[in-house]
Amino acid sequence: MGHGFGQVVTGTLAPSGRAAGVSDLDVEVLLTEADRVALLRAEARRGLTATPKQLPPKWFYDERGSALFEAITRQPEYYPTRREREILQARAGDIARTTRAATLVELGSGTSEKTRLLLDALRDAGTLRRFMPFDVCLPAVADAATGLRRDYPGLTIKAVVGDFNEHVRFLPRGPDGGPLLVAFLGSTIGNFDEDERSHFFAALRLVLRPGDWFLLGADLVKAKRRLDAAYNDAAGVTIQFNKNVLRVLNRDLRATFDEDLFDHVAAYDPARELVDIRLRARAAHEVKVRGLGLTVHFAAGEEMCTEISTKFTRAGLERPLRAAGFKRAQFWADRARDFSLSLWRAA
């Protein structure tokens, strides 16, 4: 991508901070609200004028989108969250004893619910001093930080607002020493294509120092019928989540998308080992994106890609990590071998 954002604003959010209840929160803003809208504009313009049309998945996650994703994780068909929690429950103690991390960074932290398993284990090991939730959405990091501050009184919390695709390289390291553990959970890595994945691992590796750690949650290749079910839940929550990106464009770019003119389409492609998630136009129509001065034509049946969710084999996952200079310490799966958690050392 390579947009020139990244004006760094450090400090304590005043009570006028735009998320409620975040006064006194130590926040480093790598992506300001103005940057966020500029990035959305650039990415929406590029994606809506491309053939085929596409939109990056990060724009699902306004407050409503984040809540819809949380609801997805509770659907019976959506196994990844439960499987990853199972592994974390079994291994958090190992992770804490192996890494002896002083700082835990969580990329794409969302509600940080599973992170508590790591925080508890690191606290019990007696090494943890600092937690840094890192997310594109200020309200999401602020909520996470506020809840954790109550429950972990001895912990220093520094929230970071950024786009981890762009901003991992600006991750504030601090002078305080002690190993850093960067956690990237939930198989968010599956949203990246091959190039983005290699670029991300390389950028992350440059931030880490020898003795630092990377913990990666990644979903594994499995039967198509289970993957198709996981991304087409019977309650229809995934439909709403997918269409939420249209609401975000309507609100932030003054667009005129009509959700009812699109169908949710999600299917596992075994050849590419990914779930391809799209919105398909039910009828030919035009959408105005006033914020971009753009009119976008959709043909009947035209599909716009809104997300890929890559599924991994162990070898396919490990190759680009090794290429980026990581050394594997552990590779764990749940009992059903549905999901993986792997621990990597910067070397």
By beta-carbon proximity to ligand AVJ, the closer residue of 99 and 238 is: 238
Q: Does 307 bind ligand AVJ (CB under 6 A)?
A: yes
Q: Does 72 bind ligand AVJ (CB under 6 A)?
A: yes
Out of 54, 109, 250, 309, the residue judged to bind ligand AVJ by CB under 6 A: 309
Q: Does 186 bind ligand AVJ (CB under 6 A)?
A: yes
Q: Does 56 bind ligand AVJ (CB under 6 A)?
A: no
Closest CA to 245 of 72, 71, 75, 58: 58
Q: Does 115 bind ligand AVJ (CB under 6 A)?
A: no
Q: Does 191 bind ligand AVJ (CB under 6 A)?
A: yes
For residue 125 the two structure tokens come to 């090991």
Distance (Å, whole) CA 161 – CA 167: 9
- 287 pairs with which residues across the strands? 296
Question: Quick one: which segment of 187-195, 208-216, 248-256, 331-339 binds ligand AVJ (CB under 6 A)?
Answer: 187-195
Out of 79, 231, 257, 326, the residue judged to bind ligand AVJ by CB under 6 A: 231
For residue 328, give the DSSP letter.
Answer: E
Q: Does 54 bind ligand AVJ (CB under 6 A)?
A: no
Q: Is 192 left (phi over 0), alpha (psi -120 to 50) or beta?
A: beta
Out of 139, 162, 190, 320, the residue judged to bind ligand AVJ by CB under 6 A: 190
Distance (Å, whole) CA 47 – CA 60: 14
Q: Letter for the amino acid at 182?
A: V
- Residue 230 makes CB contacts below 8 A (sequence gap 6+) with 77, 78, 79, 80, 275
Q: Does 334 bind ligand AVJ (CB under 6 A)?
A: no
Question: What is the contact surface with ligand AVJ in residues (CB under 6 A)?
Answer: 72, 80, 186-188, 190-191, 231, 238, 241, 307, 309
